[in-house]
Amino acid sequence: MRRVLLVLNTGSSSIKFALHDARDHACIARGAIEGIGRAPCLTLRNAQGVQSLHPREGADDTAALIDWLLGTLASQLGPMDMVAAGHRVVHGGRDYSGPVVVSHSVMAKLQALCPWAPDHQPYNLAGIHAVARRWPNTVQIACFDTAFHRTRPRVAQLFALPRALSDEGILRYGFHGLSYDHIAGRMLNVLGERVAQGKVIVAHLGSGASLCAMQNAQSVDTTMGFTALDGLMMGTRCGQIDPGVLLHLMRKKGLDADALTRLLGRESGLLGVSGISPDMRELLASPAPEAAEAVTLFVHMIVRQIGALTAVLGGLDALVFTGGIGERSAVIRARVMVSLNWLGLIHDEGANSAHKTLISTPESSVVAAMIPTDEEGVIFRAMLTFSP
């Protein structure tokens, strides 16, 4: 029976995974379930090639899909001795600033954070439960999206609320930390030491989207806050909004907490503005003016927040794109970069269209780059420090 290590990365619209041999750490298989909530499909890559598999009828929510995925891996790859499993967990709150071995007490704390990340945390924990049911003796490691941002100064973590609420933990936590951790580790090779240690903004653009301002490859500020709803416009999330709008919707429209959760997290963003789709590829291909307006608003919010973070940093040496949209959409990258000409950023149209790593011209005052993220790699490396 093959001894293996599992990495499970449950996001808002996909479940990514990787299986490694526990002896030599070679990757045995990797892939993702995408299209959750619409038409989920598993893409499985291993030595035999690439397969597209569809879940059984009824396995259409994230928790059910995780369980189906684990069963499919076992049936497709043969009997496995699961030595350890590493998981992306969105919210670590104030208690966790680095990876941790999952125990009953840890799970209790993470469960208590579910209301702070209702569209992510329950599914992250569902993955831990699913592994424990199938392989009860497996060591499990939780890696937190919030941990990377713990280096920020206190002022960048505070809301202008009564101190007692801040003391209870109502703070700006920030997310996408596993992605930013990977990019921070790659910047030295891509950008060179001077730029990588300088003033850098990383744009993680995907179904979930955020920006992180870094100096010395550490988080200084970020656009997401107490929850993953804040900051940029996203696939189905509204991003930054006047809290007075929420009060208005409660008073005049009778919306309660559950209705607001649906509206802000699942019915807004690209989907809400366009009325067509949360998928940037579909919107860019659509002739509908509503689709064009949604894309324009997406870019506008990115550019506005880059301006704010540039002010926090006191300048900008580099802009790095990552995430599904950031890596794959030359159109969105170009629109953002053109809007930043005032910073001296001059993009290289040919390099950008070809999805090269460096996408600014030599004479550009700001270096622009595209670096693919690898959250699973960050989880895997953390897991190796814990697993037997």
Same domain assignment for residues 121 and 200: no
Mean pLDDT within 89-116: 96
Q: Which of 337, 325, 324, 331 is nearest to 369 (CA)?
A: 337
Residue 232 has pLDDT above 70, yes or no: yes
* Shared-domain flag, residues 117 and 201: no
pLDDT of the residue at 388? 58
Does 223 lie in the same domain as 90?
no
Regarding whether 352 and 226 lie in a shared domain, the answer is yes
150: in domain = no
Q: Cβ neighbours of residue 281 under 8 Å, at least 6 residues apart?
A: 328, 329
* Secondary structure of residue 283 in the 3-state scheme: helix
Average of per-residue pLDDT across 233-257: 97
Where is 331: in which H helix or E strand? helix 330-338
The residues that are catalytic are 145
* pLDDT value for 78: 86
- Domain shared by 138 and 55, yes or no: yes
Range of the domain at 95: 2-144
pLDDT tens profile 13-27: 789 999 999 999 999
What is the model's pLDDT at position 377?
Answer: 94
**Which of 115-129, 230-244, 277-291 is predicted with the least confidence, judged by mean pLDDT?**
115-129
Residue 22 is assigned to a structural domain of this protein: yes
The predicted pLDDT at position 387 comes to 65
Has residue 46 been placed in a domain?
yes
Judgement on whether residues 20 and 137 belong to the same structural domain of the protein: yes
Q: What's the domain count of the chain? A: 2
pLDDT in tens, 141-193: 999 999 999 999 999 999 999 999 999 999 999 999 999 999 999 999 999 99
Same domain for 131 and 218: no
- The whole-number average pLDDT for the span 85-102 is 96
What's residue 359's pLDDT?
A: 98
Q: How large is the average pLDDT for residues 224-239?
A: 97
Distance between CA atoms of 165 and 211, rounded to whole angstroms? 25
Query: What 3 state SS string does 164-191 have?
Result: HHHHCCCCCCCCCHHHHHHHHHHHHHHH
The reply to whether 316 falls in a domain is yes
Whether 17 and 129 map to the same domain: the answer is yes
Instruction: Indicate whether 63 and 208 sit together in one domain.
Output: no
In which region does residue 212 sit, left (phi positive, over 0), alpha (psi from -120 to 50) or beta (all else)?
A: beta
| pLDDT confidence of residue 119 | 87
Tell me, yes or no, whether 130 lies in a domain. Answer: yes
Pair 129, 224 in one domain = no
What's the pLDDT tens digit per position in 38-84? 789 999 999 889 999 988 776 778 888 999 999 999 888 888 899 99
> Any idea what the CATH number is for the domain that residue 338 is in?
3.30.420.40
Q: What is the pLDDT of residues 373-384, one digit of tens each?
A: 999 999 999 999
- The pLDDT > 70 percentage for the chain reads 99
Task: Give the pLDDT mean for 94-113.
Answer: 96
Domain boundary among 144, 168, 184: 144
